[in-house]
Amino acid sequence: MGKVRQIDHPLIQHKLTIIRDVRTGAKEFRELVEEIATLMAYEVTRDFPLEEVEVETPLCKAKARVIAGKKVAVVPILRAGLVMADGVLKLIPAAKMGHIGLYRDPETLNPVEYYCKLPNDIGEREMILVDPMLATGGSASAGIGFLKQRGAQNIKLMCLIAAPEGIARIQQDHPDVEIFVADIDEKLNSHGYIVPGLGDAGDRLFGTK
Ligand code: PRP
Ligand code: URA
């Protein structure tokens, strides 16, 4: 079963509470989502392997460490994942970026694909798929499926808030994928919204409602 890591750093929890608040407007909401994603990226990259190199300081030559192995690609699920991707890129500016366009059909709650453009070497990259909300898990499961179809082998999923149903879905469909979340909420309501959640992440980020 895929591992779930809840990142309960005080800064992340504090900022998450502000974005849950219905009174928080789009500008502050966007800024905080980006900041939380940057902080989460610190943990998501924690197990990246290091290798030893030689560096010449102003005083002498020294052994030091740099990140080894695979390079990174960040893939937001459009559109709400876009702002999280910006937050991850603050920490890993050389990462390549892909985009997966999915929206959830409001009746069936099934994901509908409308766009997919990925770097062509994703098989050699550490993939970080980002989307603020893991509700039924349908969108993230489909997104991971697209990455795998195109050759991705190492995928981490990073979400702000997950419902237990969404976590169970990813663990069932993609047991190899590690899930990073800032919080796990109680349940989904009859419209597939996470409760207590933060509402519709895309609408709150972009002020579309
Ligand atoms: C939201 C969210 C996820 C999806 C989660 O996107 O950003 O992609 O719903 O729900 P699920 O786990 O039940 O699939 P939405 O479909 O509202 O699209 P948007 O980002 O374009 O607003
Ligand atoms: N998508 C959202 O934006 N919010 C939810 O609570 C569920 C799906």
pLDDT in tens, the chain (209 residues): 789 999 999 999 999 999 999 999 999 999 999 999 999 999 999 999 899 999 999 999 999 999 887 799 999 999 999 999 999 999 999 999 999 999 989 899 999 999 999 999 999 999 999 999 999 999 999 999 999 999 999 999 999 999 999 999 999 999 999 999 999 999 999 999 999 999 999 999 999 98
pTM: 0.95
Could you say which of 38, 104, 150, 173 is catalytic?
Answer: 104
What is the pLDDT at residue 198?
Answer: 98
How high is the pLDDT of residue 191? Answer: 94
41 Cα–ligand 2 center, Å: 21
User: Which ligand is closest in space to the CA of residue 165?
Assistant: 1
pLDDT at 52: 97
Residue nearest to ligand 1 atom 18, measured at CA:
103
Phi, psi of 196 (to 5 degrees): -75, -30
**What beta strand segments (E) does the chain contain?**
4-6, 50-56, 61-67, 71-78, 96-97, 99-104, 111-117, 125-130, 133-134, 154-162, 178-184, 187-188, 194-195
Say which amino acid occupies 151.
G
pLDDT of residue 50: 94
Could you say which of 8, 21, 200, 208 is catalytic? Answer: 200
* Alpha helix segments (H runs only) across 52-191: 81-91, 138-149, 164-173
- The active-site residue out of 21, 105, 176, 203 is 203
Evaluate: CB of 134 within 6 angstroms of ligand 1.
yes
Q: What is the pLDDT of residue 1?
A: 79
Residues with C-beta less than 6 Å from any ligand 2 atom: 133, 135, 192-194, 197, 200-202
Round to whole Å and give the CA distance between 177 and 160: 16
Q: Is 108 a catalytic residue?
A: yes
**Is 200 considered catalytic here?**
yes
Q: Is 81 helix (H, G, I), strand (E, B) or coil?
A: helix
Q: Is 180 exposed, middle or buried (0-12, 13-18, 19+ CB in 10 A)?
A: buried
